Amino acid sequence: MTAFRLIPLPVHGALELLMGLFTMAAPFLFGFEAPATVIAVLVGAMTVGLALAAASAEPAGARGTLPVATHHAFDYGLTVGLLGAAIVVGLDGDANAALTMTLLALVQLSLNLTTRYSLRA
């Protein structure tokens, strides 16, 4: 095992929800330029959707909205997407947005590495 898996999936979903809401608010708090604002609001909305799906996660083969393994994969995709967005807005010249999205990617990666991706208590 490469990391301590201390955070249960429901807590992970709650923290991810807060992160998504912060991502949507960040452009207005830190004064992002228009392209970075659009990207941040879209990424934040996707993060909120992913967080809400964590509440209804099911084990593989069970009937549910999103299997745990799929949520795990989407979490890492979100991390890569945030890093990609940080690069794009950084190349566009929006340093505030690039720094914020890089930090959000690191927060998401930390959350991914410390989450116990199982439905066991």
pLDDT tens by residue, 31-45: 999 999 999 999 999
Which residues make Cβ contacts (< 8 Å) with residue 110, sequence separation at least 6? none
Closest alpha carbon to 23 in 10, 12, 32: 32
Q: For residue 68, is pLDDT > 90?
A: no
Q: What angle do CA 74, 80, 81 make, to 5 degrees?
A: 80
Q: For residue 1, is pLDDT > 70?
A: no
Query: Using CA atoms, how far apart are residues 94 and 72, in angstroms rounded to an integer?
Result: 30
pLDDT at 56: 67
pTM of the predicted structure, to 2 decimals? 0.87
Q: For residue 120, is pLDDT > 70?
A: no
Is residue 24 within 8 A of residue 44, CB to CB? The reply is yes
Is residue 68 within 8 A of residue 58, CB to CB? The reply is yes
Query: Using CA atoms, how far apart are residues 92 and 9, in angstroms rounded to an integer?
Result: 36
